[in-house]
Chain A
Amino acid sequence: MVELKKVSKSFANVQAVNNLSFTAREGEIFGLLGPNGAGKSTTIRMILGIYLPDSGTIYFNGKRLVEKDKNRIGYLPEERGLYKRLKVNDALLYMAELKGKKRKETQPRIDYLLEELDLLSWKERKVEELSKGMSQKIQFISTIAHDPEIIFLDEPFSGLDPVSSDQLLDLILALKKEGKTVILSTHIMDQAERLCDRILLINRGCEVLSGSLEEIKAQYGRRTIKVEFDGDGDFISSLPQAASVRSYPRWAEIDLKPGIDSNELLSILMERVSIQRFELSAPTLHSIFIREIGNPEDKGGEPDA
């Protein structure tokens, strides 16, 4: 279990994290969400003891985090980096050894994980020979090879093909079943929505919203319409009845403006396109994100110092 209480950190003139509190419980996948530069990486680095917070405290299973707790943490940073000149197996053993594990102890688990991710035949190859996706999976194995209790995953799916993504997803869900705490940091909301039990959305170092996904969605009510259609749907993005729209060639997600009835929208749509599906639902995490913060793709640029 990881608990942050009123943690703040600033660099020069930038307040990277401001009075942040949250708890990630045992056996849950906790989403630490926010746009680029929101303070996610700084928060994770503080929990890992890479940075010291300016104020506030970080608890690890109820006690203050000390150096040897690092052995019980696994960390997959956003930017991957393994020793290129080492063989895959040696690189994995080395990283596990730095987590206080003996080589003999770790080898069976490494073999198991390599097998799960279809990489066993690459065990004796050099890291530099791996493709980008493969080295990403190896990096993931290095994160959990020492069987940590708490696992930090910073954008774990970026750059993976759908098959690898699913393999990784299964492993993450298996970790949750084993009772591990997984803290997932991402700005891709669809993934967070599929995986996370609870989330914390931050922006500019401050909490924007937090809680379980159901609680959060309930706050926003069922005011989102998912529609599938045939025909030219270009006009949908400029509908006056919509607060915000995610529009694709044959599919759209529309947040209704207050006071607008869903039937009114349906009749407008029926006049211009042929409706295949029309569903009133709670908003997706993506549209909540956009409503609270703006388009995640427009943000960023600010380095994650």
Chain B
Amino acid sequence: MHKVFTIIREEFKMTAANRAFILLTILGPFLIGAITILPGLLANKALNPEKEYQIGLYVQDQSFAAELSERLREGKIILRHGADLESLKSQVVSGELEGLLVIPAHYMEERIFTYYTKQGGNLYVTQAIEGVLGGIIVSKRLAEEGLDPGRIASLTARPSLKTMTIDQEGKEKSQDVMEVLLIALTFVMMIYMTVILYGQSIGRSVLMEKTSKTVEILLSSVSPSAIMFGKIFGKGCAAILQSGIWVSMAIFIVKIVGPRFGLAIPAALTVSNFLYLFSFFILAFFLYAAIYAALGAAAEDEQHLNQLLWPVLLFLIVPMVMISGLIFNPESSIAIFFSLFPFTAPLVMLIRVLVAAPPFLEILLCYGLIIATIGIIVLLSSRIFRIGILMTGKKFNFKQILSWLWR
């Protein structure tokens, strides 16, 4: 047992006392700071253009030109009126003008206007022109019919929904659906990336010890299971340390920095949600770490390891593919199934917890199932590890490797 702790300590040191690890641990909070504050900032602030756009305008009606120019100037789009269409076009080609808008003579009847650019259109500019142009022409048409454009606009405005969350104490908070979606996506991405990153690092380190024959020296001192446990828990401690720092940093921003500086913190970023993120990450880590270690032991080289990992990665990819379905319908039977199926549970249950309020018993059941599966996987993985670590010179396929379980 003492030797397992020795391996855990060394593996932890080798993982954590390393520049990449420290850099990522330091940069992580900035990343988290960005994702916690940015959505709010982005939602409140319109995307203002940074520079002025010089756009050519070819039109007969001078008053129409003046109205259009004035309205577009607010959006930093400057219209340059010209009488010669061909010279305007050549200015676009030479790059003096960003684009050229051509208004036909009978513009009130036209359905389609032409906008010339050198290469594609700047989306901001085209949308601004389209919006302003449409608004002016529709108002003119309504006025010609003797209708009040302002009155028509208020009559045809559709009501929209505002989402509020209430907790047990009756506190209400406004919750933007898009915001929740973004946060769920970020959380899931974080688990997905870190599990793969750490998993790869375990798999590769086992493989490296196997190919460099270090493992033979280790095996002359300790049992194969001790090596596997030592590796998984050593790297696991590093993962807990790193994500622990990140999560406490995030909670610090949400609870202390946010309120003090009056930042708009999305309502879904609660301490309990961060703790769910932390716990599901740790569970996902141990679930997949054992598999990565076993496959690292069974692989012949790095390419072979990646081939073997594909079927395993599918379990991590499925929730990513289903994510929008899960967010819009978190209580569907398929969502419930995947939130209890151990290999997808850490990701899917996390989404459900974020966007819905699954029964507490279900969450508990999910934890129980994942922990039980980790136990079984570690047991099976250590069997594969024990055999694989000494098998060299042949690339085994997944089926052959699974057959080692019965040897």
Residues of B within 8 A of A133 (CB): none
Residues of B within 8 A of A215 (CB): none
Complex contact B214–A48 (CB within 8 A): no
| B-facing residues in A41-96 (Cβ within 8 Å) | 45, 48-51, 67, 70-71, 73, 75, 77, 79-83, 85-86, 94-95
Report which of A51, A86, A97, A142 forms a contact with B390, defined as CB distance below 8 A.
A51
Complex contact A94–B6 (CB within 8 A): yes
B10 to chain A, nearest CB (A): 5
Complex contact A67–B212 (CB within 8 A): no
Q: With A79-B213, A81-B213 known to touch, is A50 a contact of B220 (CB < 8 Å)?
A: yes
Closest to A97 in B: B6
How many interface residues does B have (CB within 8 Å)?
Answer: 23
B125 adjacent to chain A (CB < 8 Å): no
Complex contact B217–A70 (CB within 8 A): no
A98 adjacent to chain B (CB < 8 Å): yes
A300 adjacent to chain B (CB < 8 Å): no
| A-facing residues in B194-222 (Cβ within 8 Å) | 209, 212-222
Per-residue A-contact encoding for B2-36, CB less than 8 Å = 1, 0 else: 11001100100010001000000000000000000
Report which of B7, B18, B214 forms a contact with A81, defined as CB distance below 8 A.
B214
Roughly how many angstroms separate A67 CA and B225 CA in the complex, as a whole number? Answer: 13
B329 adjacent to chain A (CB < 8 Å): no
A300 to chain B, nearest CB (A): 14
Roughly how many angstroms separate A50 CA and B218 CA in the complex, as a whole number? Answer: 10
B393 adjacent to chain A (CB < 8 Å): yes
Closest to B226 in A: A98
Complex contact A82–B6 (CB within 8 A): no
Complex contact A94–B390 (CB within 8 A): no
| B-facing residues in A3-57 (Cβ within 8 Å) | 45, 48-51
Complex contact B6–A77 (CB within 8 A): no
Closest to B7 in A: A98
Query: What is the interface of chain B mostly: helix, strand, loop, or mixed?
Result: helix
Roughly how many angstroms separate A161 CA and B165 CA in the complex, as a whole number? Answer: 76
Residues of A within 8 A of B209 (CB): 81
Q: With A51-B390, A80-B213, A82-B214 known to touch, is A70 a contact of B6 (CB < 8 Å)?
A: no
A198 adjacent to chain B (CB < 8 Å): no
B206 to chain A, nearest CB (A): 13
How many interface residues does A have (CB within 8 Å)?
Answer: 27
Residues of A within 8 A of B393 (CB): 303, 305
Complex contact A75–B220 (CB within 8 A): yes
A180 adjacent to chain B (CB < 8 Å): no
Residues of A within 8 A of B3 (CB): 97-98, 100
Report which of B14, B214, B221, B390 forms a contact with A99, defined as CB distance below 8 A.
B221
A184 to chain B, nearest CB (A): 16
Roughly how many angstroms separate A79 CA and B209 CA in the complex, as a whole number? Answer: 12
Closest to B14 in A: A85
Q: With A81-B212, A97-B6, A305-B393 known to touch, is A86 a contact of B14 (CB < 8 Å)?
A: yes
Complex contact A100–B2 (CB within 8 A): yes
Query: What is the interface of chain A mostly: helix, strand, loop, or mixed?
Result: loop
Residues of A within 8 A of B217 (CB): 75, 77, 81, 95, 142
Roughly how many angstroms separate A82 CA and B217 CA in the complex, as a whole number? Answer: 9
Interface hub of B213, B216, B222 (most chain A Cβ within 10 A)? B216
| A-facing residues in B322-372 (Cβ within 8 Å) | none
B90 adjacent to chain A (CB < 8 Å): no
Residues of A within 8 A of B390 (CB): 45, 50-51
Residues of A within 8 A of B215 (CB): 81
Residues of B within 8 A of A82 (CB): 214
B211 to chain A, nearest CB (A): 8
B11 to chain A, nearest CB (A): 10
Residues of A within 8 A of B214 (CB): 81-83
Residues of B within 8 A of A94 (CB): 6, 10
Roughly how many angstroms separate A95 CA and B216 CA in the complex, as a whole number? Answer: 12
Roughly how many angstroms separate A86 CA and B18 CA in the complex, as a whole number? Answer: 11
Residues of A within 8 A of B212 (CB): 79, 81
Complex contact B14–A70 (CB within 8 A): no
B392 adjacent to chain A (CB < 8 Å): yes
Complex contact B6–A98 (CB within 8 A): yes
Closest to A76 in B: B217
Roughly how many angstroms separate A214 CA and B215 CA in the complex, as a whole number? Answer: 38
Residues of A within 8 A of B218 (CB): 98
Residues of A within 8 A of B7 (CB): 98
Roughly how many angstroms separate A142 CA and B220 CA in the complex, as a whole number? Answer: 12
Closest to A152 in B: B220
Report which of B14, B216, B221, B222 forms a contact with A77, defined as CB distance below 8 A.
B216
A-B contact pairs, 28 of them (CB 8 A): A45-B216, A45-B390, A49-B220, A50-B219, A51-B390, A71-B221, A79-B212, A79-B216, A80-B213, A81-B209, A81-B214, A81-B216, A81-B217, A82-B214, A83-B14, A85-B14, A85-B18, A86-B14, A94-B6, A95-B217, A98-B3, A98-B6, A98-B7, A98-B218, A98-B221, A98-B222, A99-B221, A142-B217
Known: A50-B219, A98-B3. 20 other contacts (CB 8 A): A48-B219, A48-B220, A50-B220, A51-B390, A67-B223, A70-B220, A77-B216, A79-B213, A80-B213, A81-B209, A81-B213, A83-B14, A85-B14, A85-B18, A95-B217, A97-B3, A98-B6, A98-B7, A98-B222, A305-B392
Question: Interface residues, chain A, CB within 8 Å of chain B?
Answer: 45, 48-51, 67, 70-71, 73, 75, 77, 79-83, 85-86, 94-95, 97-100, 142, 303, 305
Please list the 8 inter-chain residue pairs (A to B) with the smallest Cβ-Cβ separation, ordered nearest first: A81-B214, A81-B212, A75-B220, A98-B221, A79-B213, A81-B213, A48-B220, A77-B216
